[in-house]
Amino acid sequence: MPQTPHIEQHFTGSELIRDIVIGMADGLTVPFALAAGLSGIVNSTSIVITGGLAEIAAGSIAMGLGGYLAARSDAEHYANERETEQREVDMIPEVEVEEVEQVFLAYGLEKDESALVANALRQRPQAWIDFMMRFELGLEEPDPKRAPRSALTIGLSYIAGGLVPLAPYMLIPTAETALLFSVGFTLVALFIFGYVKGRFTGNRPFRSAVQTTLIGGLAAAVAFGLAKVISR
Amino acid sequence: MPQTPHIEQHFTGSELIRDIVIGMADGLTVPFALAAGLSGIVNSTSIVITGGLAEIAAGSIAMGLGGYLAARSDAEHYANERETEQREVDMIPEVEVEEVEQVFLAYGLEKDESALVANALRQRPQAWIDFMMRFELGLEEPDPKRAPRSALTIGLSYIAGGLVPLAPYMLIPTAETALLFSVGFTLVALFIFGYVKGRFTGNRPFRSAVQTTLIGGLAAAVAFGLAKVISR
């Protein structure tokens, strides 16, 4: 596939960061809320720790394998579509030429200008298929090494994120005190994480920090409140 | 933005389905694994139910709001990039014409053919910007109504998915027996969900069903095993 030359690709090389963000966002939020919820039911740090670790294990496997399959199915989808385009270019080239012309007509080119581009592409079948993949279908060729790397990155980030809210329960013997430290630590971690995430994703960092902290805090508060109400 | 005319858009109209799949995949998996994990520690259905509901509340809030913010930040990213393109087209049109030519040169068109297309686009600034957005940056204009709808769909799908593994604990008084039914029910639900997901996402349904069931089962087994080992 020809490399489209740009100065302006914003997401290049940030798949790793995206995977870390995906894993850590959930890892910081869900185990945090669960630990808060469990603290609302039982006054035993060991149940909170065990439940929390079980959740971290489950969540990191589910998210990691989910990421693996998503990346794999992207790659398969791309290959299937490419085969279809290849077949269409071979079998019904007139229809495909017509489709290219339609694309350019839609962008306001004249009939003869569109025909010229379509014909020029027709002379170069591979470039033509690349063009259809990117332009007509909006698909980019996925990196084949992406799937396992993505799985590992998401899974490990989930574990790293999830250990933050659990650490206080491992260090402090009283569940109530541990909860306070867990809330404090995790809200700070969420704020820093949201700030960094904002910088990497092109959002305003401070706003991203506030939003991330609010979501995590809200989820934990609801989980804690719900657990208290139900277990009463 | 001009509608690119295609026969072959595969993802059109499936944002709703994608959101349901996102929410339900995690909703079926994580609360399932957590319930299994909690069953490995305590022999009390009420703790499993309360912990499970707390997790469902936390997870649906975290995922729903996460989906909301993701959709919002997509929209903002698009608007920012569009503004940048607009400014560049106004300020340094020669550079932008050059960029369009580069795109077509990369697809194997001749210099004069590329220049013709670039010039034709130059006559129509709005279409030109649309072209750059889609082709150079690979960005589609997001639907502004997407964010709240996405949040609600993901959150509700998470809740619906999460109630499947918890239901047996609500109906059966013994945690051990409830666990067996929870595992049975949820594996069947994961299989059906995976099959349907495969049909909607263009993967082989049966393989998708097997994969989804394996991931969910593995996550639950690890959570259960880890909880048993730690709480011993």
Could you tell me the CA-to-CA distances from A16 to A100, A210, B8, B32 in Å, in that order?
Answer: 34, 24, 30, 29
- Residue B13: what pLDDT? 44
Q: Taken in order A128, A129, A135, A136, is the CA torsion positive or negative?
A: positive
**Per-residue pLDDT averaged across A28-57, rounded?**
88
Q: List the end-to-end C-alpha distance of chain B, in Å, as a whole number.
A: 62
pLDDT at A143 over 70: yes
Q: Do A9 and B109 touch (CB under 8 A)?
A: no
Mean pLDDT (chain B) is 82
Q: Which pair of tokens denotes residue B130?
A: 């649309």
Helix (H) or strand (E) holding A161: helix A146-171
- Residue B86, Cβ density class (10 Å: 0-12 exposed, 13-18 middle, ≥19 buried): middle
pLDDT digits (tens, 9 = 90+) for A209-225: 998 899 899 889 988 88
Proportion of chain A above pLDDT 70, given as a percent: 93
Is residue A206 within 8 angstroms of chain B, CB to CB? no
- Do the Cβ atoms of B198 and B209 come closer than 8 Å? yes
Helix (H) or strand (E) holding A47: helix A45-91
pLDDT digits (tens, 9 = 90+) for B209-227: 998 899 899 889 988 888 8
pLDDT digits (tens, 9 = 90+) for A62-93: 888 877 877 777 787 788 888 888 888 888 88
**CA count, 13 A, side-chain hemisphere, B187:** 14
Q: For the beta carbon of residue B23, count every other beta carbon within 10 angstroms.
A: 28
Mean pLDDT (chain A) is 82
Sole residue written with tokens 């399959």 = A69
Is residue A6 within 8 angstroms of chain B, CB to CB? yes
- Do the Cβ atoms of A33 and A220 come closer than 8 Å? yes
Q: For the beta carbon of residue B136, count every other beta carbon within 10 angstroms.
A: 21
Q: How far apart are CA A222 and CA A98, in angstroms?
A: 56
pLDDT at A201 over 90: no
Largest CA distance in chain A: 79
Is residue A1 within 8 angstroms of chain B, CB to CB? no
- Residue A195: what pLDDT? 92
Confidence of residue B116 (pLDDT cuts 50, 70, 90): confident
- Residue B231: what pLDDT? 77
pLDDT at B9 over 70: no
* Phi, then psi, of A21 in degrees rounded to 5: -60, -45
Return all residues near B90 (Cβ < 8 A) that are at least 6 apart: none
Q: How far apart are CA B150 and CA B119, in angstroms?
A: 40
pLDDT digits (tens, 9 = 90+) for A165-182: 999 999 999 989 999 999
- Closest residue in B to A106 (Cα) is B2
Q: Do A226 and B54 touch (CB under 8 A)?
A: yes
Nearest to A216 by CA among B72, B53, B58: B58
Measured between CB atoms, which of A29, A51, A69 is closest to B41?
A51
Q: How far is A34 from chain B (nearest CA, A)?
A: 5
- Residue B7: what pLDDT? 27
ipTM of the complex: 0.70
pLDDT at A22 over 50: yes
- Do the Cβ atoms of A213 and A187 come closer than 8 Å? yes
